[in-house]
Structure 1
Amino acid sequence: MTFKKDQFQAIPQLIHYALWLLFIINLTYLVYNFANIPEWHYKNILKINGFTVLIWTLVTFFSALISSFGINYLRGFKYHAKFSLLCLGFTFSIMVFVMSNHVSLLLLMWLSMGVFMSRLIGVDTKWGEAKEASKFALKFFVGGSFFLTVGVLLLAFQTEAFTLSGIISNLSAVPRGITLVAGLCIITAAIIQSAIYPFHRWLLSAMTAPTPASALMHAGFVNGSGILLALFSTVLFASNTLIILFIIGGLTAVIAQFAKLLQVNVKQKLACSTIAQMGFMIMQCGLGFFNAAVVHLILHGFYKAYLFLSAGEEIGLSKPQKPTPIKIKPSQAVIVLFFGILGAVLFSYLTGKGTELNSGIFLTLTVAITIGQATYNIVKEQCLGFFQKLILPPFLFLCGIVTYALMYKGVTMLMSDMPMVDEPIALSAIEIAFGILFLAGFFIMKLGIYRNYPWLYMKLLNLSQPYKKTVLMYKTKSL
């Protein structure tokens, strides 16, 4: 019996080393062959290209990092070995999904990702709330798999091709109505997995998962929709459904940012933040920039993994504080506006986005808002001197924008053999009107105007609540 126990204790360590080894192999191959990664096929079942290797490198890194964190965090946890095995299974399901060419394997791996993630959420089978969260999330994942299956099989039977490459090659022969239904089904599958409104509640309910599982979920799983939409970008263009992605993503980004401000639980705050970031990612897909969406999911993965793994330390150091009203002086407003415009110009120069009258303007506008917000956070700090406030913004933003531009160009190169992943679309009246509403909502949120309307406050608070059976339903019974 002791031998078996030691064996179980050794499993997390072995998986930890295996994941880091996989990451090193993937990273080495990616760097060595970056300029010209050969495309490899296996009997129309599997396909490996630059995009595949990029995602492999990312997913193995995050899994290895979270596994390393779990070695100490989950030490003594009864289900540590089970967690590590599920983490490994989840990692391989993503790796196989992204290299799947045959539709049956692709659909199976999409479902497998959901099954593994639901099991990770409910890894502690004796915790009632976690079991309920696992079952609740699994219903969404199965529903998403159903929609994806319907959409993909519609295209497969119409084109008489049961490979992803075959469907894309013969897409012009598919009737417009079928393409539209298939596009809507694929979008539904994507927004379910990314917890986009109105399918957001599963993610809010999944915070009962151990912190390493939450980190893996937010750094990897929810980002899977960006991969899915990039793989089916041609279908989305053909079905003219990009405007749906743009509107749904924009609404989610604004609403989730509002909801984040109302949360008192740090993991719920992070969950709302993830939903908002996924909204931005979906919005970028709706603009025709699937490569920008992939860059976004990469950066979000690093950012959110760090936040979840450091959440315990953040709680220990935090103190209750009253919300500080936003008050900006005229001089501060000038500095914020100046650096926002400067950042947008630099971004346009480095990436070529926003220089023409098309959807690239929205990307540049988002960069300007981000830089303006970060500039305000610097200039309002009382501990910084005048020259520090003047020097820090350009230094930080120059580094940040240059890094982003390099990543953008690198990802675009790796996705160069994929059709329709960097295709700006012409601006329409709907997009311009929604862009104005998006900006209005952003400033209403930042200025705290929503606090003056109790009905709006309560609506947002109710909208951001987890499923009732995942919150304190079982613990009192065991006392």
Structure 2
Amino acid sequence: MLAFMSSSSFLTLFFIVLIISCLSGLLFLHPRISLRFVRIHISIVTLPPLVSLLALVNTSVNGVVGLWYVDSLAWLLAFFVLSIGLIIQRFSVRYLMGDRSYRKYFMLFTFTTGAASIAWLSGDLRLLIICWGLTLIGLTVLIRLNSRWKVTNEAAKVSGRLFALSWFALLIAIIWLSQATGQWQLSLALTNERLVLLEAWEVTGINLLIVLAVIIPAAQWPFQRWLIESVVAPTPVSAIMHAGLVNAGGVILTRFSPLFNGDVAQIVLLVFASVSVLIGSGVSLVQVDYKRQLVGSTITQMGFMLIQCALGAYLAAIIHLVLHGLFKATLFLQAGSAVRHYEAVTRVNERSSYLWVIAGRALGLLAGVAFWLLASGEGYQLVSALILGWALSVSWTQLVAFGKGRMGRLAGVFLLGGFAIVYFITHSLFFGWLHTTGYQSVQPPMSVVIFVISLLLFGSAVGTWAARNRSSLFFAVLYLWLVRLGEAKSKAVDSHPTYLKQYFSQGGNR
């Protein structure tokens, strides 16, 4: 029966269950509704991602339906955001129990993820900007929901100001594009017939506004402060933030790919994203706070995602943002059990381990060179070869070189092979889903690609050298600079929350 359902039928069913989910969240706000209703709410929230999954696997559901653009990419993103929201809400049932704003969290989670899913299904530019603005508002309110704590208020102010700047940049770009092309429909405004109406300077101006709009929510340098200070929000809020919202830049750039091609804005995005990769990596290495380590990792991963977009690899960027979102949500939800116990470990046969490390580096180099030679020679393939070789070398070192004995190394080899198989199966699945997605890809000059790779390699070499010369002045300066970048401002730090004093005093009186 599903094979015969039309695009409009799936859309109608999707919005019905989405509205029911939002009404359920509003109903849960009423104080007379039992807290046990949250179980029913979770069951209702299961319906929208289920419908979006059914629409995704139904290959016939593609095309423009009124205000909506329902291709496989739109349904995949709707399913992803709503599924992440469902998982986090299910986790929050017990995690947030007893919180003063317990009911509000579930309503805001449902509202925010619902608005984001509608934004990615929107085919009308006006509807897209409205829904994306509602998503940013929902995220800001989630950050400051504990308004009695001044730290969350400060974090919400910083986030809100930067979100407003990002939203207005995208708003101006959309208005500019629609006025120049005479179309508000996304698919019509980005046709070749309409884009030729734009002057070269107009294309550059619109693209630079889009770059500004995407690097802010992606927490790219120099706008990473909002994400660093938002770690004071509850862990479920951080999970939905890092998993389903900061990666929106890849979606926006993919949708605007016919416009965002062969322009100076690509070079600007490459430079900012490359610098962010280096800064994020450094922050994650020097921070001792687990959530700030994850923040540094997110900055790095979003930088790589934007590099993929700037190099025209939009499909790879979409796969990256989905898999990274799932991975990062898992890490945040297990943040409470992330306390590590360090013990002195003596490795047997250190020389043998070092030889295995050298073998892993050689294997990574061979794999990267082979991938580059077999690929089409595009700039993105060169970056992919670099990442593949580096990832293989690091994985080999962790799983094989430092394995305990012969059996440990053998198990590491099998694990590494299993991960590779899962990787290729997952990518094949995503490519099958997104084969109907239309996007355009124009490679930047190879000189720019080589510059980006040289910048990344230089930053990695400097970090390695500094780590091996920890007594040098350069290491001290670099370390303290990265620590400062990864720390929140003094207003956003409160080691002893004053709002808890009243809470405990009231509890003591009772």
Instruction: Verify same fold: TM over 0.5.
Output: yes
* Alignment match, 1:30: 56
CA distance 1:357–1:40, shift in 2 (3 Å) = closer
* Alignment match, 2:427: 408
**What CA distance in whole angstroms lies between the structure 1 residues aligned with 2:332 and 2:455?**
32
Choose from 447, 459, 462 the match for 1:444: 462
* Residue-by-residue CA offset, 1:420-464 (whole Å, 9 max, x unaligned): 35x362652232133122113124335624743212222212122
**What CA distance in whole angstroms lies between the structure 1 residues aligned with 2:404 and 2:182?**
65
Contact 1:294 1:411 (8 Å CA) reproduced: no
One-letter amino acid of the structure 2 residue matched with residue 7 of structure 1: I
Contact 2:219 2:246 (8 Å CA) reproduced: yes
Higher mean C-alpha displacement, 60-69 vs 456-465: 456-465
**What CA distance in whole angstroms lies between the structure 2 residues aligned with 1:40 and 1:16?**
31
CA distance 1:157–1:96, shift in 2 (3 Å) = same
CA distance 1:320–1:466, shift in 2 (3 Å) = farther
CA distance 1:327–1:264, shift in 2 (3 Å) = farther
One-letter amino acid of the structure 2 residue matched with residue 28 of structure 1: L
Q: Which fold has the larger relative contact order, with Cα–Cα distance below 8 Å and residues 6 or more apart in sequence?
A: 1
Shift of 1:125: 2.0
Unaligned runs of 5+ in 2: 1-28, 502-510
**What CA distance in whole angstroms lies between the structure 2 residues aligned with 1:251 and 1:327?**
36
CA distance 1:24–1:446, shift in 2 (3 Å) = farther
**What CA distance in whole angstroms lies between the structure 1 residues aligned with 2:366 and 2:46?**
40
* Alignment match, 1:425: 443
**What CA distance in whole angstroms lies between the structure 2 residues aligned with 1:435 and 1:27?**
38
* Alignment match, 1:211: 235
SS of corresponding position for 2:69 = strand
Shift of 1:142: 0.8
SS of corresponding position for 2:487 = coil
Contact 2:149 2:498 (8 Å CA) reproduced: no
State the TM-score, normalizing by the size of structure 1.
0.89
One-letter amino acid of the structure 2 residue matched with residue 403 of structure 1: V
Contact 2:48 2:82 (8 Å CA) reproduced: yes
Shift of 1:165: 1.0
Shift of 1:131: 1.7
CA distance 1:450–1:97, shift in 2 (3 Å) = farther
CA distance 1:450–1:29, shift in 2 (3 Å) = farther
One-letter amino acid of the structure 2 residue matched with residue 22 of structure 1: P
CA distance 1:426–1:180, shift in 2 (3 Å) = closer
State the TM-score, normalizing by the size of structure 2.
0.84
Shift of 1:477: 7.7
Choose from 162, 165, 168 the match for 2:184: 162
SS of corresponding position for 1:195 = coil
Is 1:312–2:355 an aligned residue pair? Answer: no
SS of corresponding position for 2:64 = strand
* Residue-by-residue CA offset, 1:364-395 (whole Å, 9 max, x unaligned): 211111111111122443x52135325523x3
**What CA distance in whole angstroms lies between the structure 2 residues aligned with 1:261 and 1:371?**
20
**What CA distance in whole angstroms lies between the structure 1 residues aligned with 2:496 and 2:174?**
41
| Count of paired positions | 466
Is 1:377–2:398 an aligned residue pair? Answer: yes
Bigger Cα Rg: 2
**What CA distance in whole angstroms lies between the structure 1 residues aligned with 2:295 and 2:239?**
10
Choose from 83, 100, 103 the match for 2:105: 83
Contact 1:289 1:424 (8 Å CA) reproduced: no
Counterparts of residues 113-152 of structure 1 (less than 5 Å): 113-152=135-174
Choose from 334, 339, 342 the match for 2:358: 334
**What CA distance in whole angstroms lies between the structure 1 residues aligned with 2:206 and 2:48?**
35
Unaligned runs of 5+ in 1: none
**What CA distance in whole angstroms lies between the structure 1 residues aligned with 2:484 and 2:79?**
39
Shift of 1:257: 0.6
Identity %: 25
Shift of 1:171: 1.3
* Alignment match, 2:265: 241
Is 1:39–2:59 an aligned residue pair? Answer: no
**CA RMSD of superposed structures (Å):** 2.9
**What CA distance in whole angstroms lies between the structure 2 residues aligned with 1:178 and 1:358?**
26
Choose from 388, 393, 406 the match for 2:408: 388
* Residue-by-residue CA offset, 1:317-364 (whole Å, 9 max, x unaligned): x1357999x999651243212432465478679xx7x34253312112
* Alignment match, 1:302: 326
Contact 2:204 2:264 (8 Å CA) reproduced: yes
Choose from 35, 46, 70 the match for 1:9: 35
Counterparts of residues 41-80 of structure 1 (less than 5 Å): 41-43=64-66, 45-80=67-102
CA distance 1:178–1:259, shift in 2 (3 Å) = same
One-letter amino acid of the structure 1 residue matched with residue 169 of structure 2: F
**What CA distance in whole angstroms lies between the structure 1 residues aligned with 2:490 and 2:344?**
29
Higher mean C-alpha displacement, 403-412 vs 257-266: 403-412
* Alignment match, 1:365: 386
Contact 1:295 1:407 (8 Å CA) reproduced: no
**What CA distance in whole angstroms lies between the structure 1 residues aligned with 2:352 and 2:239?**
35
Shift of 1:63: 0.7
Choose from 275, 292, 298 the match for 1:251: 275
**What CA distance in whole angstroms lies between the structure 1 residues aligned with 2:412 and 2:423?**
18
**What CA distance in whole angstroms lies between the structure 1 residues aligned with 2:204 and 2:449?**
20
CA distance 1:328–1:273, shift in 2 (3 Å) = farther
SS of corresponding position for 1:101 = coil
Shift of 1:22: 2.2
**What CA distance in whole angstroms lies between the structure 2 residues aligned with 1:241 and 1:179?**
9
* Alignment match, 1:21: 47
